[in-house]
């Protein structure tokens, strides 16, 4: 390939236990992957594979895939919801003396923080538990799934609604 700068294609890296190697892929080039003993080796091999693929595409007169752009966010989106929920949220906002927008932002932020805390709690409990007690239900990785996993043989979950959101208490069961 000529020493012309090629478009900046994206790269995803992951470890393959089965292959005992790092695998690098580029979403813009479906099916293209490269292996390496280190992440750096896999990345270098993927760049070689991308360059070779570009040469073939150009030689055949085929268009190059467009590089994926990093997403940008405006901070706005439209949500459709049931009228009954809209009514309850509007009443809560009025009762709290805030705008509906401020109330929804507050509730979404609280739910996002609760989900992150739940993930940290589960990770910590799995690290701290003796091997025989590492039976925290896999569903607990997400609060909605956590509610569905309550009282399973793998463990129990108590959820307590509060004004600040939902608090979770996880206990693990012994083998």
pLDDT of residue 118: 84
**Domain spans in the chain, listed from the N-terminal domain onward:** 12-59, 83-172
Where would I find the beta strands (DSSP E) of the chain? Answer: 12-16, 21-25, 33-36, 155-162, 165-172
What does the buried/exposed string (b/e) look like for 1-34 if buried means 16 or more CB atoms within 10 Å of the residue's CB?
Answer: eeeeeeeebebeeeeeeeeeebbbbbebbeebeb
Per-residue pLDDT of the chain (175 residues; tens, 9 = 90+): 445 678 889 999 999 999 899 999 999 999 999 999 999 999 999 999 999 999 999 999 999 999 998 888 899 989 999 999 999 999 999 999 999 999 999 999 999 898 888 888 877 776 766 554 444 444 344 444 444 444 444 444 444 444 444 444 444 444 3
> Looking at the chain, how many residues does it have?
175
Do the beta carbons of residue 158 and residue 169 sit within 8 Å? yes
12 forms beta bridges with 25
């Amino acid at each position: 390939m000529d020493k012309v700068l090629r478009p900046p294609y994206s790269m995803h890296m992951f470890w393959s236990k089965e292959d005992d190697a790092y695998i690098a892929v580029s979403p813009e080039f479906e099916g293209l992957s490269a292996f390496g003993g280190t992440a750096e080796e896999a990345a270098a091999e993927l760049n070689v594979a991308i360059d070779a693929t570009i040469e073939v595409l150009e030689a055949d007169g085929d268009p190059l895939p467009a590089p994926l752009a990093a997403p940008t966010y405006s901070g706005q989106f439209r949500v459709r919801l049931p009228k009954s929920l809209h009514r309850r949220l509007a009443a809560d906002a009025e009762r709290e003396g805030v705008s509906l927008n401020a109330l929804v932002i507050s509730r979404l932020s609280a739910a996002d923080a609760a989900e992150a805390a739940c993930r940290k709690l589960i990770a910590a409990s799995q690290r701290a538990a003796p091997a025989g007690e590492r039976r925290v239900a896999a569903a607990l990785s997400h609060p909605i799934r956590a509610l569905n996993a309550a009282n399973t043989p793998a463990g129990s979950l108590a959820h307590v609604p509060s004004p600040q959101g939902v608090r979770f208490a996880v206990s693990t069961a012994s083998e």
